[in-house]
Chains A and B, each alone.
Chain A
Amino acid sequence: MPKIEVARRDLERLCPSLPGDDAVLEELLASLKGELKTGGELLKIELNDTNRPDLWCAEGVARGISALNGYSRRYLVDLPEPSVRIEVDDSVTAVRPWIAAFKASGPPIDEEALAALVAAQEKLAGSFGRNRKTAAIGFYRSGCISFPVRYSAVPRDSVRFTPLGCDSEMTLSGVLSDTETGRKYAHLVEEGALCPLISDSSGSVLSFPPVINSEGTGRVSVGDRDLFCEVTGTDWNTVGLTASILACNLEDRGFRIEPVEIGYPRETPDGGSVSITPRRFCDTLSTTRERISTVLGILPDDAAIERSLAGMGWDSWTIDGAVVEARMPPYRHDGMHEVDLIEDIAVGYGLNRFEPLMPEGYTIGASAAIEDLADAVRIMLAGAGCEEVLLPILTSEGRPGTPPGIVRIENPMTLEYGAVRNSLIPGLLGVEAVSSHTPYPHRVFEVGEVLENGSGDLRTVVRLAVSISGNDAGFGDVHSVIGLICHGRGHSLALTPSGDDRFIPGRSCTLMVDGREAGVMGEVHPSILDELGITRPVAAFELDLESLGGAVQG
């Protein structure tokens, strides 16, 4: 979940109706699916809706709260015609096809606004733009740029420029290998492929997206008032929405937005080869009063619906008889279905105002048979003096006592949890390895899931395992336990000698329950005990719980 830090002073500036009391602020943030983690001068807020990147910045939170307090406004309306253009070269189609841009002029930018701008840029490119893959952002002083701007892809050693924060020119491969930022984002530029480049009509490099801007134009400072912003990326909508959100943020700070015309070499997903950005997404959703009452169980009147939509910051709406049609503000693009509109009506109305109802349909509860079986066997084992343990399913493949065929995890966090257990015995031996200070004898059991790697598929199987350890512990002890359980559950038990190398030769067997192979039993081999530092003999058995189902007596 995105977390942001916002200076209260900056938020107050953007939202004059901001409550001074953190508790009131907390309630308002809840309607934005946000949580106030820390109050005071530097607010820390967590935003839970991963489809609302517009909220991941001071401006977004301020917009949300203003609207809830009854001060909503419209964004990106009455924009002038674009006066400048970006030419997109076909060479970027294969590497990073999309770009969106706009110009913005306003009051001289101050320190807090600049900090907020950088924070929004990082959060959008980092979380929403998948670490600059689907969207990366550049800001510039627009006065330094000679339009039209060209977006192309070039061989990495064909161009030299001075990257932001450096004092000498270098090639694009130099940027990737010799700067910290370059190394961090080098994986986004495919080995051997052309590199994206933004340059102006005078030939100056503006940026090497998604890696770094140029020192000359790509540094915005306190006092700047004429900005140019571009967003490039691999996903059409992510690029477009990111630019729209940034444009709305600047409007909140008193900037006037001038769109930019972008000429593509081919047709865009919106049709046509010319795109004007920032785009007004303005998802329009339509629903009916009937559907609202079906989903919500209440039917708010027109005034209540309008209050909800205004409070949730919607751009515009009409209520025409039975039909409600509403347009989202341009910084949102999460309206996919009429239920999205209905949810906002419910949130605006207040969730805690809904009278609870109980589902009326009559249902009979039914337990899963394997769980009932597990319960019955667990209680028998407790009665047989065994203590139950509950251990993680993730394990490491090299644990002593692990049978072959364990399923590994391709992307383990640590090797300790790098595989999915295929036996309960290694876990029980692990218990013995750390419990030598606990008075003996130890009679331990676990009933739990393991993952079997079958030839066709992966099978989750519930197993039962018992281990007994102590000065005199041996085969007979565990044999008595499995004997008790089989007898108690009405199953026949037979032991077939086996050569399982986890056990002492001549002291291991296959457990045959009702004539079918169901598990293994034996005295654990001293080499395993030695490896684990276990100082007392251990005998154990493990079997499929299913084998104890069915023939229950009494």
Chain B
Amino acid sequence: MEDRDLHPLELTLLSYLDGVGEAWDEEIIEKSGIGGEGSYRRAAQWLISRGLVDEAGASGETRVLLGPLGEECAAAGGTPELLLLDMVEEGTGDFAAIQADSRFDPARWGSALGALTRSGLVRRDGGRLESAGSERGVFGLLWEQVYAPLSQGGTVVLESLDPQVAAMVSDRSPKRGRGRAEFLLSTSTWQKLSINENGRSALERAKAGRIAGRLTPAMLADGSWRGLRFRRYEMDIPAARIHSGRLHPYRVFLDSVRRKFLALGFSEMRGSIAESEFWNNDALFMPQFHPARDIHDAYFLDTGGRRFAPAADILAKVASAHRDGGDTGSRGWSYDYDESRAGLPILRSQGTALSARWMASSPSVPGKYFAIARCFRYDQVDATHLPDFFQVEGIVLGEDINLRHLVGLLRLFAERIAGATEHKLYPGYFPFTEPSVEMHIRHPSIGWMEMGGAGLFRPEVTKPLGVEVPVIAWGLGLDRMAMTAMGLADIRDLMTDDLGRLRAMRVRPERMPGGGGGVADA
């Protein structure tokens, strides 16, 4: 400690005390040129802890100020108690008449009467109020000692009041609900400092050397830095906090998933968040009466009756696949497919809608495609459901694709995307794939969890869209992995609008897709 050079603030404070010997803080702040109260306090604390000044005295007092109710009294020329006493003495014995007096509201008149009867200054005789004499008691003292000086611009110190009055003032200055307070209390403490021998010699040493606070361009220009010694810094002072711009942690997570797929040779699909029922459902061989297509499972868009029907030839092919299988080798759903519904606009409820559109637009064979697509499901928003969310979905097309390739692809995802060492497959059900498979993985930090599903598109899906080769459709649920990587328990936090919460979020690199391969935080 002894080594450390005096900080400019310390120097200012010591120099001032050197001149006066000792002084109260108010005086120092005002006269030493140290700056504000904050600078004084820091310097004083440092100097006391280094033993260069002593605390020569301390005092405190509580000042009384008028609250909103007190201001009302000052304006009325008296507290409700005093005015009520006046009225009773003048012969107004009817409390209802007093309460009608507009100087105070009825409730205040009521509590004034309570206070006066408790103190015995007013009696109730039958329905009438009577004064017990001309005594004003503590209410008179309150006016003399508090209201009168305050209304003349004076100060009132709680500690110097008559104890009875002080008690009443404290009573009427609630800490909460200051809007209904009669008085407000403001407590101040003062500190008196005196310089000691150590302080004087430290000051002398400091003045003897030519110590510079900072290196300035002028010193560099004229070379004056050569004769200077720079004030030494204390190294254990915490740095001021700054915050940087940065990318959203969930998007950082999704970005790393996207990079993984690009690296695995997948091409990215993009499409509209507004879809037609046709591409969202019909093209995926989900019959119009399917339970998952109830009005409550998708958000329908109000477009003033506009519809977005697909090209007539594709519509015809899909319609016949639904009705009787068409030329897909299926018996179809055997129902009356309603073509007028095909163009109804909805919000995309599954990323597979994009895959359907991609299949209909001459994809490459062999081909591998993926999308990180915003989807919308008709769900209550809660800790496990977002109003909209990202689905990671895609397709793999190839002449010789079969179930074993699907198994291989799922293993690839388990290892490369989730960093899982174990996975297990179960039969699954999706209306548009057969066979369908679900995959559970052992995630390094979550344990066994469902990671996603895949299947071979039914011929009823691929053929009407003009695809003659087998197609693997796959989808992954990565929200839980993302939440784990970000240390979140409530899925709504993935899309929080609270900047404070967002700033506190961190992505844990070891929990990023692929286990440690990801960029941690930007």
Contacts and interface: CB of A to CB of B under 8 A. Distances in A.
Contacts of B334: 237
Given A371-B258, A411-B299, 18 more contacts: A294-B470, A336-B332, A337-B434, A337-B459, A359-B408, A360-B398, A364-B267, A368-B268, A387-B502, A388-B246, A388-B247, A389-B496, A409-B300, A410-B299, A410-B301, A417-B387, A437-B500, A438-B498
A363 interface: yes
B499 A444 contact: yes
B151 to A, nearest CB: 35
Contacts of B166: none
Interface stretch (A246-254, A374-382, A472-480, A546-554): A374-382
A147 B522 CA distance: 79
Nearest to B371: A368
B424 interface: yes
Contacts of B50: none
Contacts of A449: 273, 374
B295 interface: yes
A445 B388 CA distance: 19
Contact of B499 (A134, A298, A442, A460): A442
14 contacts: A48-B429, A50-B429, A237-B334, A295-B403, A297-B404, A298-B403, A337-B331, A365-B262, A371-B268, A382-B245, A409-B302, A409-B347, A435-B500, A457-B308
B301 A127 contact: no
Nearest to A31: B427
B247 A382 contact: yes
A37 B402 CA distance: 32
Given A339-B435, A420-B274, A358 B500 contact: no
A390 interface: yes
A359 B401 contact: yes
Interface stretch (B20-28, B98-106, B375-383): B375-383
Nearest to A393: B388
B333 A336 contact: yes
Interface in B55-108: none
Contacts of B429: 33, 48-51
B292 interface: yes
Interface stretch (A69-77, A109-117, A256-264, A349-357): A349-357
Nearest to A359: B405
A437 B500 CA distance: 8
B207 interface: no
B387 A460 contact: no
A50 B273 contact: no
Contacts of A411: 295-296, 299-300, 378
Contact of B428 (A48, A283, A294, A408): A48
Contact of B347 (A352, A358, A420, A459): A420
Contacts of B43: none
Interface in A330-376: 336-340, 342-343, 346-347, 351-352, 354-368, 370-371, 375
B248 interface: yes
B346 to A, nearest CB: 9
B402 A366 contact: no
Contacts of B398: 359-361
Interface stretch (A86-94, A173-181, A426-434, A515-523): A426-434
B270 A431 contact: no
B146 interface: no
Interface in A275-330: 283, 293-298
A366 B396 CA distance: 14
B435 A343 contact: yes
Interface of A: 30-33, 48-51, 127, 130, 134, 235, 237, 283, 293-298, 336-340, 342-343, 346-347, 351-352, 354-368, 370-371, 375, 378-379, 381-394, 407-414, 417, 420, 427, 430-431, 434-435, 437-439, 442-444, 449, 451, 453, 457-460
A363 B364 contact: yes
B458 A337 contact: yes
B436 interface: yes
B366 A361 contact: yes
Contacts of B308: 457-458
B330 A336 contact: yes
Interface of B: 243-248, 250-251, 255, 258, 261-274, 289-292, 295-296, 299-303, 306, 308, 325, 328-335, 345, 347, 364-368, 374, 376, 378-381, 386-388, 396, 398-405, 407-412, 424-429, 431, 434-437, 456, 458-460, 470, 472, 494-500, 502-503, 522
Question: Which of B263, B302, B306, B472 gathers the greatest number of chain A CB atoms within 10 Å?
Answer: B302
A392 B387 contact: yes
Contact of A407 (B303, B405, B408): B303
Nearest to B334: A237
A427 B434 CA distance: 42
A50 B267 contact: no
Contacts of A283: 331
B247 A130 contact: no
B472 to A, nearest CB: 8
B480 to A, nearest CB: 16
B425 A352 contact: yes
A532 B472 CA distance: 49
B435 A347 contact: yes
A337 B435 CA distance: 11
A528 B49 CA distance: 51
A363 B500 CA distance: 44
A34 B402 CA distance: 24
Contacts of B248: 388-390
Contacts of B331: 283, 336-337
A328 to B, nearest CB: 12
Contacts of B329: 337-338
Contacts of B270: 368, 370-371
Contacts of B295: 411
Nearest to A445: B245
A344 to B, nearest CB: 9
Contact of B273 (A356, A385, A393, A444): A393
Contact of A346 (B267, B435, B499): B435
A407 to B, nearest CB: 5
Contacts of B347: 409, 420
A482 to B, nearest CB: 15
A342 B497 contact: no
Contact of B458 (A127, A130, A339, A417): A339
A409 B388 CA distance: 14
Contacts of A410: 299-302
Contacts of A359: 366, 368, 396, 398, 401, 405, 408-409, 472
B435 A127 contact: no
Given A351-B437, A375-B255, A420-B273, A356 B402 contact: no
Contacts of A394: 299, 376, 387-388
Nearest to B368: A363
A9 to B, nearest CB: 27
A391 B458 contact: no
A283 B374 CA distance: 39
Contacts of B407: 351, 354-357
A387 to B, nearest CB: 6
Given A363-B367, A392-B387, A357 B404 contact: yes
A378 B247 contact: yes
B403 A296 contact: yes
Shortest Cβ-Cβ A-B pairs, 4 listed: A361-B366, A297-B404, A297-B402, A356-B408
Nearest to A283: B331
A460 B303 contact: no
A417 B381 contact: yes
B6 to A, nearest CB: 31
B397 to A, nearest CB: 8
Contacts of B300: 409-411
Nearest to B255: A375
A387 B246 contact: yes
A297 B497 CA distance: 49
Contact of A296 (B332, B374, B399, B404): B404
A464 to B, nearest CB: 13
B378 A413 contact: yes
